[in-house]
Chains A and B, each alone.
Chain A
Amino acid sequence: MIRSLRWKGAAFTAPFQLGFVFVYLLPIGYAVYQSLFVERRSGLGLGGGSTTEFVGLDNYERGLTDPVFLGAIGRVFLFACVQIPLMLGVALLVALLLDALTSRLTSAFRIGLLVPYMIPGVVATIVWVNVYSPDVGPLTDLGRLFGWSWNFFAPEMVWPSIGNLLTWHGIGYNMLIIYAALQAVPREMFDAARVDGASELRIALSIKVPYVRGALVLTGMLSIIHMLQIFNEPQLFRSVTPQTVDANFTPIMIIFNQAFASGNYNYAAALSVLLALFLGVASFLFYRLTTREAD
C-alpha cells in the first residue's frame, strides 16, 4: 500500500485513539498510581491538614487480606455460579420449546418473552422491588391465597430475590441468542432423525443441545466472571431495605463506598485494580482453555 495512504488510514482511527488514551489508558494509569499512596490525616481529621505518603504495595496487601472484600467476591461468585446456569438452563428450555413449536403463535411468544429485555435494568429492579413489596406488591396477596407468607426482603431471601429478578431480565436475551443458533441447525438433520423414528425430545437432547452447548458454556463462564461487577441491583435493594443489604455487599459496592463515603480513594483504587486483574486473568485463562479445547 502507498505510504501516504497508510497514514490516512491511521488518521481515521486518530479520534478514537486520542479519546481512548484519555478515557481508558490515563485513568487506568492514574488508578495504579493512586493505589501506591496513602493519605494520612494529621490531628483528628477536623481542620487538620493531610499528607500523602508513598506506601508501595501496602494497599494491595491490605486488599488481599481484607475479609470484607474477599467475602464479597466469594459471595457474588457463589451467587453467579447458581444464578447463571439456572438462567441459561431456562433460556435453553424456552428456546427449545419455541424451536419445536409448529404454530403461528411462535412470533407472539417470542415478543412476549422479549418484553423484559426491553426494560432498563434499573427500572426492572425498581419494578420488581415493588412487586416484592409487602405493601403494594401482588405477590404477598397471591401467597396468602395459597397459605404461604413470604418476605422477599428477609436476609436469607435477598439473593433469591435478586436472582429471580436477574433471571427474569436475562431469559429473553439469552433465549434469543440460543434460538438464533438453533435456527442455524440444518433442518434436514431433524427430518433424517424423524425418519429413523427419533422422538422430538430425543432430537432436542441429541442434536439441538449438543449444537449450542459450546456457545452456552462460553457465555455462561464469561457471565459468571462479569457478575463480579454487579452493583445496580443490590444498590437499589439497599435503598429500599438498608437493613438486609449492607453497604459492602458486592466488590463494586465496597469500592464505591470506600471512595465516596469514606473518601479513601487510594484504597478504593487498589481494590479496583485488584478486581480488574482478577477479572482479566480469569477471563484470559478461561478463553485459553476453551479455544484450546475447540482446536
Chain B
Amino acid sequence: MVLTQPDATATRPEPKARPVRRLSRPDRASRTRGAQRFLLLGLVLATTYSVFPVWWLIVAATKDQVGLYQTNGLWFSDFHLWENLEQLFTYNDGIFLRWVANSFLYAGVGSLGGTLVALAAGYGLARFDFPGRKAVFACVVGSFLVPIAMLTLPLYLLFSELGLINTVWAMLIPCFINPFSVYLAKVYTESAIPYELLEAARLDGAGEIRIFFSIVLRMMTTGGATVFLLAFVGTWNAFFFPLTMLRGEEMWTLNLGLYNWSGMRMQSGVDLTSLVITGCLLSILPLAITMIAMRRYWRTGVTLGALK
C-alpha cells in the first residue's frame, strides 16, 4: 500500500519514477487479488450479520417449546414446523388468520384508494395551473414534517366523536390521504405524461375525465405500482396508529397481535414464544414476496424517497 501513494510520486520532479511503477504489473495484480479477498471477507461478515437473525427465526420456527429453550438456537433439532403452524392457526379460534386478513384488508384497500387519490392529485398538480396550486403543494411537502403523534392523538378524539374508533374506517380513511404518494405521483407525472399528448387528446375531443382514466392512468402503471407498493409497505408496517385506533383483538393487524402475544408472558405468565416466532416467520413472507416480485418498482421509489 505504501508503495502506491500517488501524491508521493506525483510531486516528485523527475518523471523517471513513473515507468518503474508501471512495470510492476504482476505485483499489482496480486495485490488486487488480495484486496478482492479483503472485500469478500468484509462483505461476508456484513451479510452474515444481516441474515443470521432471520436464519435463527427459521430454525426456531421448526422447534417445539422444549427444543426452543434447550437446544442450540442456530441449528435444527426435532422438526416441529407443521405442529407449530397448526397450533398457530388454531390458537384462540384462529385469531392469527383474522389478523392476517385484517392486515391485507387495511394495507391493500387503503393503498389502492390512496394510490388513486394520489395519482389524480399528482396529475392535477403537475399538469394544470390553477389558483392555489402552490399552496396545495406546500401542504404536501410541509406535512412530511408533521410527527405521527401530532395527528394520531387528535384523530383519535375526532374519530371517537364520529364513532369510527375500532372500525375499518379508522384505518382506511388516513390511508387514502398520503402526501408522500402525492409527491411521488407528481414527480412521475412530470416525467411520464407530455403536455403535447394531452393537447392532442383534447383536440380529438376527449373529455378531461376520459383523458385521465384511459390515457394518464395507463401511462402511469409503473409510477402507480411504485406508489402502491410503498404505501402498502408503510401500512403493513404501521404500529403506533393501529395501536391507538383499534381496541378489540378481532380488529387488530398482524403487528398488533404479535406485539400482544410477546407481552403475554410478562402480563399473564402465558408463554406464547413458540407461536410468536412462527407468526413472525409467516408475517415476513407476504412483504418479502411482494418486494422481491416488485423490486423493479421499489428501487426507483427508494431512490426518489431519498431525494425528498
Contact = CB atoms under 8 A, between A and B. Distances in A.
Given A100-B39, A201-B1, A31 B154 contact: yes
Contacts of A94: 42-43, 46
B139 A20 contact: yes
Contact of A118 (B131, B151, B276, B291): B291
Given A16-B182, A24-B143, A122-B255, A197 B9 contact: yes
A17 interface: yes
Contact of A120 (B121, B136, B265, B284): B284
A118 to B, nearest CB: 5
Of the four ranges (under 10, 10 to 19, 20 to 34, 35 or more), the interface on chain A belongs to: 35 or more
B99 interface: no
A77 interface: no
A172 B47 CA distance: 10
B53 A168 contact: yes
Interface in B137-159: 139, 143, 145-151, 153-158
Contact of A127 (B155, B280, B288, B299): B280
B149 A256 contact: yes
Contacts of B262: 126, 129, 236, 239-240
Contacts of B283: 120, 123
A25 B125 CA distance: 19
Given A138-B56, A180-B303, A275 B150 contact: yes
B51 interface: yes
User: Secondary structure of the B side of the interface?
Assistant: helix
Interface string B245-289: 000000000010011001101100000010011001001100110
A2 B73 CA distance: 69
Nearest to A193: B6
A276 B146 contact: yes
**Which residue of B50, B74, B121, B277 has the most chain A CB atoms within 10 A of its CB atom?**
B50
B69 interface: yes
B197 interface: no
A127 B150 CA distance: 29
Interface in A28-64: 28, 30-31, 34
Given A97-B42, A98-B43, A137 B73 contact: yes
B208 to A, nearest CB: 5
B36 interface: yes
Given A94-B46, A136-B60, A177-B306, A126 B258 contact: yes
Interface residues of B, number: 94
Contact of A34 (B154, B277, B306): B154
Interface string B40-66: 101100110111011011001000000
Contacts of A122: 237, 239, 255, 258-259
A76 interface: no
B155 A23 contact: yes
B157 A136 contact: no
Nearest to B142: A280
Nearest to B285: A118
B127 interface: yes
A237 B283 CA distance: 19
B50 A113 contact: yes
Contacts of B74: 138, 142
Contacts of B128: 1, 5-6, 8-10, 12
12 contacts: A15-B121, A23-B173, A100-B35, A120-B236, A126-B258, A130-B276, A136-B68, A198-B4, A202-B4, A219-B306, A229-B148, A236-B262
Given A128-B53, A193-B6, 15 more contacts: A19-B173, A20-B179, A23-B155, A27-B151, A97-B46, A114-B50, A123-B280, A130-B273, A141-B73, A168-B49, A197-B18, A202-B4, A231-B240, A242-B266, A272-B153
Interface of B: 1, 4, 6, 9-10, 18, 21-22, 32, 35-36, 39-40, 42-43, 46-47, 49-51, 53-54, 56-57, 60, 68-69, 72-74, 117-118, 120-121, 123-125, 127-133, 136, 139, 143, 145-151, 153-158, 173-174, 176-177, 179, 182, 208, 212, 236-237, 239-240, 244, 255, 258-259, 262-263, 265-266, 273, 276-277, 280, 283-284, 287-288, 291-292, 299, 302-303, 306
9 A-B pairs with the lowest CB-CB distances in the bound complex, closest first? A9-B128, A138-B73, A12-B124, A239-B263, A16-B121, A27-B154, A19-B177, A13-B124, A112-B47
